[in-house]
Amino acid sequence: MEQQHSGFRPLSFRGKIQIVATSGPFDKQLFNAGLSFLKQHKIRPWHDDASFLRTGYLAGDAAHRAAQLQKAFADPEVEAIWAARGGYGALQLLPLLDAHREELKKNPKTLIGFSDVSILHSFLVEKCGMVTIHGPNITTLEQLDHHSKDQITRLLQGKSEAFRIGDRHIRTLQPGVAKGMVKGGNIATLVSLLGTPWEPDFDGCIVVLEEVGEVPYRVDRLITQLRLAGKFAKIAGLIIGDCSYTEHHPPVEKQVDVRMIVERSGIAKEIPVMSSFPVGHGSKNMAFLIGAVAVMDTEGKSLSY
C-alpha cells in the first residue's frame, strides 16, 4: 500500500535519481557500493564526472557544487537528488542557492542525505517549502543494517509501513505525545546556521538531533548555544538520535549523556523527549521526512507520518 504525504512524491518504477557531491569528496569504492545497492532495488542512479572533482576537503569549489545541484533540480527527468557524502561544504552553497530560490521552488525535488546535508534540508524546507528525506548518503548505504536498508527503499516507494519509524531500544526521557513539522539533523551543522539569514525556525516543531565524534563538553556547548538562541523555547517535542564518540573503546568521560542534552536544552518537563532513536552515523540510520507533519509517541516508541 502506498501512502501520500503533502510535498512528498514516491519514486516511479526505475525512477531517475541524480547523485550530487554537495560537500566533501568521497571514497569511490563506497560510492560504487551505493550505486550497486540502488540498482539492485530498481532505482536508476545517474551522475557525471563532475561529481568526482576534489579541491582539498571539498568536492570542487562552491560555485561548481551549487551549479551541479541547480542543474539536478532543473532536470525534468530527475525525481530525487541523493547526496554522495556529507563532510563539510554545504554551508558555502546557501548564498548561491538563495539567489535561485524561485527557480528551485518551481522544480521541487526530494533531497536525500544526512550529516552536512542537514544544512540543505533546512534551506529547502525553510526557504523553498519542500519536503526532504533525512537518510543515508550514497557512500554510507553499504554500512547500514538490513532494517535501515529495507526502510529507505520502502519509503522511496511510498509504502505505508516505512512512514512509521520505531525501535524497541528507544528510551523515553520525558513522556507524552506531540504533533508538529519535523525538522533538525546534525547538531553542529544546525548550529552553524545560527545568526545567518538561513537560521531554522523550530517553533511548534518536533526536532530530531544527532551527532558523531564530539565529546560531551562540545555537545554541551552546541546544545547550550541552540538554547541561548531560543531554538528550544517553543518546540513540540525532541528526539535524540545517535550521539556516539567514534573511538573503539571510549572512556566514560567521552560518552555523551543524553540527559545532559535535555538539561542543557532547557525544555519544559511536559515536552515529550525520546532518545536512542535509530538515526545517526552508525549502521542504524532510518530515513524520515523533514518538512512534513508527524506524531511522536513516547509510549509507542515511534515517529509516524
Decide if 120 contacts 91 (C-beta within 8 A): no
pLDDT at 89: 97
Set 210, 211, 214, 265: catalytic member: 210
> In total, how many domains does the chain have?
2
User: Of 161, 191, 219, at which residue does a domain stop?
Assistant: 161
pLDDT digits (tens, 9 = 90+) for 232-289: 999 999 999 999 876 656 565 667 899 999 999 999 999 999 999 999 999 999 999 9
Same domain, yes or no: 75 and 181: no
> Are residue 170 and residue 287 in the same domain, yes or no?
yes
Task: Give the 3-state DSSP-derived string for the chain, with helices as H, strands as E and coil as C.
Answer: CECCECCECCCCCCCEEEEECCCCCCCHHHHHHHHHHHHHCCCEEECCHHHHCCECCECCCHHHHHHHHHHHHHCCCEEEEEECCCCCCHHHHHHHHHCCHHHHHHCCCEEEECHHHHHHHHHHHHHHCCCEEECCCHHHHHHCCHHHHHHHHHHHHCEHHHHEEECCCCEEEECCEEEEEEEEEEHHHHHCCCCCCCCCCCCCCEEEEECCCCCHHHHHHHHHHHHHCCCCCCCCEEEECCCCCCCCCCCHHHCCCHHHHHHHHCCCCCCCEEECCCCCCCCCCCCEEECCEEEEECCCCEEEC
Amino acid at 39: K
pLDDT at 42: 86
With 90 as the cut, is the pLDDT of residue 301 above it?
yes
The whole-number pLDDT of residue 251 equals 61
Q: Is 169 a catalytic residue?
A: no
1 domain-assigned: no
Tell me if 47 is assigned to some domain.
Answer: yes
Domain extent, residue 157, equals 16-161
* Residue-wise pLDDT tens digits, 63-99: 999 999 999 999 999 999 999 999 999 999 999 999 9
pLDDT of 23-44, one tens digit each? 999 999 999 999 999 999 889 8
Q: Are residues 170 and 265 in the same domain?
A: yes
Q: What CATH number does residue 202 fall under?
A: 3.50.30.60
Q: What is the pLDDT of residue 1?
A: 43
148 lies in the same domain as 217: no
Residues 213 and 288 in one domain: yes
The yes-or-no verdict on residue 111 having pLDDT over 90 is yes
Rounded to two decimals, the pTM is: 0.94
Neighbouring-strand partners of residue 184: 208
| Domain final residue pick, 110, 130, 161 | 161
178-200: average pLDDT = 98
Q: Are residues 93 and 225 in the same domain?
A: no
Final residue in a domain of this structure, among 161, 183, 213: 161
Set 23, 47, 79, 115: catalytic member: 115
Q: Are residues 83 and 175 in the same domain?
A: no
Average pLDDT value over all residues in the chain: 93
281 catalytic residue (yes or no):
yes
Active site residue 210: yes
Does 128 share its domain with 168? no
Cell of 117: 546535508
CATH number of the domain encompassing residue 117: 3.40.50.10740
